Amino acid sequence: MENLPTSGVLSDENKTSDLDKAAVMRCRPILFSTEMVQAILLGRKTQTRRVVKVQPADLEFEIDNVCRDWNYIFKAYPKEADIPIWNFGKCPFGEPGDILWVRETMIKNDGFTYWPVADGYKKNTHLDKTIPSIHMPKIACRLFLKISAQRIERLHKISEDDAIAEGITKPEKLQRFKKMATVFFSRLWKRIYGDGSWNENPFVWVIEFEVCERPNGFA
């Protein structure tokens, strides 16, 4: 994997085409923990699952069996169709081909420079300031992800291969504990969302992605 920059500063001299501007418009933010950023940079993490905000109630069928190709379904039915999939709407993270810019925890020093905590940077002086991922500005972004696929499914539908693609643990640990990836993932999920969250088995957006270059004209 190519070396990624630690700063999001963009030169004013860069010229931006209409195509580039359109690409930037399809660029959305997404938060990742320091642990997950490290997994992405190491090439271990190529999927993420995010809870669908409005969970449907009293579904008459297993919607995840219908929504394997979300883009196809979205285009195949009129929005007014009286079917439960419209409880979801479009994926808020984008469609295949769209770009996600990663918000991660940073250390800001001298008032201008941002250093990623995922790369091992720490506060060295009282002037240094920790910037939580949710407050990381666009100009500090150094990591971009292109969506390759997305779908909706129940949380418990995750397979062993998908759990590994979530980057939940180091490969050598998985070699010692065969077929334990989903167990490790469930522990990570509960750590993030709370003890009872796994048993709720919510519908989730499954986003598959690959690391890509900074879009021209970004920030």
Q: What is the pTM of this model?
A: 0.77
Segment among 7-11, 71-75, 136-140, 165-169 with least mean pLDDT: 7-11
Per the CB < 8 A criterion, the answer to whether 28 and 98 are in contact is yes
Reported as a single tens digit per residue, the pLDDT across 26-42 is 899 999 999 999 999 99
Q: Which residue has the higher pLDDT, 60 or 124?
A: 124
SS (H, E, C) the chain: CCCCCCCCCCCCCCCCCHHHHHHHHCEEEEECCHHHHHHHHCCCECEEEEECCCCCCCCCCCHHHCCCCHHHHHHHCCCCCCCHHHHCCCCCCCCCCCEEEEECCEEEECCCEEEEHHHCCCCCCCCCEEECHHHCCHHHCCCEEEEEEEEEEEHHHCCHHHHHHECCCCHHHHHHCCCCHHHHHHHHHHHHHCCCHHHHCCEEEEEEEEEECCCCCCC
Q: Is the pLDDT of residue 52 over 60?
A: yes
Domain ranges of the chain: 18-98+143-210, 105-136
Q: What is the mean pLDDT of residues 10-24?
A: 45
Asked if residue 78 has pLDDT above 60, the reply is no
Q: Given pLDDT bands bounded at 50, 70 and 90, which one contains residue 57?
A: low
Average pLDDT, the chain: 79
